Structure 1
Amino acid sequence: MCLLQVKQVSFSYNTNKLFKGKNQANQILTDISFAIEERTCLGLIGTSGAGKSTLGKVILGIQQPQQGQVLFQGHDIYNVNRATRKKLRRDLQVVFQDSYSSVNPRMTAEQIIKEPLENYEKLTLGEQRRTVIELIERVGLSEKDLKKHPHQFSGGQLQRINIARAIALKPKLIVLDESVSSLDMVTQSLILELLAELKDDFGLSYLFITHDIKAAFSISDQIGVLEKGELIELYDSKDQFFSSKHPVVSRLRDSILAEHPRFRTIGRRSGGETGSFSEEI
């Protein structure tokens, strides 16, 4: 079943030209269309400035596009009543890149995780406490961590707190906007494993926005390539991606720097290998 549909979305910023007093449109997204099915992950790859984060904000309902539609669970998120918008917002969560700026530094981990529960659920204090304990343990931390403040966590630990907050309401879709980019390789790998487990356990769908091809491959069922605000191509398998003749995709393939010598010829493969993106590249 189709969970999210992005239909011919275009977005631009209006900027004032100095001294001339005229507005000039700065086109960021142009005619973007794709869909995400339930329980799947779309990895959206692009270099800095490609428009990835702007597209994420459009999907989250933060920045309204000048053209096109964003349909979530069949509803146009920019053309619904307040009650429907609140329901859709419950089912659509986000984890941003900067784990520290995503939280209130004065709040404890418990307060951060329970915030969406207070906004959407009618739980007793005991039920709320049990739920928060379950959530923090599910992301690999412990009950004793609930009393800590953000500065007492590492970046990876705090991102686990943000993930716990994101799954608290059991949403349908989570937008992961460069959510592992600022982490070291070991921590990044552990967070990606956690996200994959949560996807299966909770039946989640992801939009995984990243500039890291290998990170995208580790978790995605489908890959989209964004370049200068345009969706270049969508790929359903590794073989499709690595056999693509598109020059933008060729440059992205060439940018892959494998840690192990046995992976360093993959960009030169002509075909013969199939499989999902989640397999090791």
Structure 2
Amino acid sequence: MSLLFVNEVTHSYGSRKFFNWKDRSKKVLSDISLSIEEGTCLGMLGTSGAGKSTLGKVILGLERPQYGQVLFQGHDIYTADKHARQKIRRDLQAVFQDSYSSVNPRMTAERIIAEPLENYEKLTAAEQKRTVVELLERVGLSEGDLKKYPHQFSGGQLQRINIARAISLKPKLIVLDESVSSLDMVNQNLILELLRELKEELGLSYLFITHDIKAAYTISDTLAVLEKGELIKLYDSKNQFFASEHPVVKKMRDSILAEHPRFRSIRTNG
């Protein structure tokens, strides 16, 4: 049984015509089916507006689809009973693009990371502080950062705090929605390396949602391509992705600039 199974998910957003007030809807996901196995990372690639973030919300239980199922550890996340929903919330975590809007600016790093522990664990104050310090150190920060507020951290440091919070309950799956796209190249590489290490150490699974091909193939075991709400292709390896002749995939590959400036093609308007 797959850790996550998305079965024929279709989702639309409703709207109205201005003059005749007839309902119409914009389909953002169309018949999406995919799975993620334990200990693996599925990279979800797509351009802006492809439906990636909407799919992430559907998987996290934040946006109920019109049709289809999302099964997590065998439970439909939208019809599960109270006990199963509580386990799902514990085992399914997320890290989003904007590290600052993902936290309460009035809370210290200690309180941000401790929040899930307070909700799900019965720890003494000393045990909780020790756990938070261990989590900070695991993501490359230190005990000296406990009492700092979000504005006292860089974007990369604050994203490490978000990651520490996400792993605090030892989840099975983390949805990473453009989690490195707002960072500079150095911090992107550092966070990707951290995510790789945590995946190996903790046996984590990821859904890595991104428009960045380089970031995706750096961390992912398998790759999926979403275009205009449709899953156009699933690739079991990076080699399959780079050998693909699908026009959408070829266009995405062609958009990658060569590493060295001398090999980059410069386009000018004539």
Partner residue of 1:83? 83
- Looking at structure 2, the residues matched to 262 and 129 of structure 1 have their Cα atoms a distance apart, in angstroms, of 51
Distance 1:19 1:12 in 2: 21
1:101-154 CA-to-partner distances (Å, cap 9, x unmatched) read 000000000000000000111111111010000000100001111100000000
Is contact 2:110-2:132 (8 Å) kept? yes
Q: Per-residue displacement from partner, 1:48-97 (whole Å, max 9, x unpaired)?
A: 00000000000000000111100000000011112210111100000000
- Equivalents in 1 of 2:257, 2:130: separation in Å? 44
Task: Name the residue aligned to 2:6.
Answer: 6
* Structure 1 residues 128 and 28: CA distance shift in structure 2, 3 A: same
Deviations 1:164-196 (CA, angstroms, capped at 9, x unpaired) = 000000000000000000000000000000000
Task: Give me the identity figure in percent.
Answer: 75
- For residue 39 of structure 2, what is the amino acid of its counterpart? R
Partner of 1:128: 128
Matched AA of 2:29: L
Seen in structure 2, the aligned counterparts of structure 1 residues 263 and 58 have a Cα distance that, compared at 3 Å, is: farther
**Structure 2 counterpart of 1:243:** 243
- Is the CA contact 2:225–2:234 (under 8 Å) kept in the aligned structure 1? yes
2:221/2:238 contact within 8 Å kept = no
Aligned to 1:72: 72
- Provide the rounded CA distance (Å) in 2 between the counterparts of 1:211 and 1:25: 25
Supply the distance in 1 between the matched residues of 2:198 and 2:150 (Cα, whole angstroms).
Answer: 23
Whether 2:189 is the aligned partner of 1:189: answer yes
Q: Which residue of 2 aligns with 1:154?
A: 154
2:139/2:161 contact within 8 Å kept: yes
Please identify runs of 4+ aligned residues in structure 1 that moved more than 4 A. 261-264
The amino acid across from 1:242 in the alignment is F
Give the secondary-structure state (helix, strand or coil) at the position aligned to 2:11: strand
Query: For the residues of structure 1 that align with 2:52 and 2:239, how far apart are their CA atoms?
Result: 24
SS of structure 2 residue aligned to 1:170: coil
Unaligned segments of structure 1, at least 5 residues: 265-281
CA–CA separation in structure 2 for the residues paired with 1:231 and 1:8: 10
TM-score, scaled to structure 1: 0.92
Match of 2:35 in 1: 35
Q: Partners in 2 of 1:161 and 1:246 — Cα distance? A: 39
| CA offsets 1:234-255 (integer angstroms, 9 cap, x no match) | 1112221122111100100101
Corresponding residue for 2:268?
none
Aligned length: 265
Structure 2 stretches lacking a partner, 5+ long: 265-270
The equivalent residue for 2:176 is: 176
Instruction: Give TM-score, length-normalised by structure 2.
Output: 0.95
Establish whether residue 143 from structure 1 lines up as the match of residue 181 from structure 2: no
Give me the whole-angstrom Cα distance separating, in 1, the residues matched to 2:143 and 2:102: 21
Give the deviation of 1:221 after TM superposition. Answer: 0.2
- The equivalent residue for 2:56 is 56
1:261 CA displacement:
7.2
**Residues 215-254 of structure 1: matches in 2 within 5 Å?**
215-254=215-254
Cα distance in structure 1, aligned partners of 2:60 and 2:258: 33
Residues 178/190 of structure 1: CA separation in 2 closer, same or farther (3 Å cut): same
Say whether the 8 Å CA contact 2:40–2:206 is kept in structure 1: yes
- Determine helix, strand or coil for the equivalent of 2:3: strand
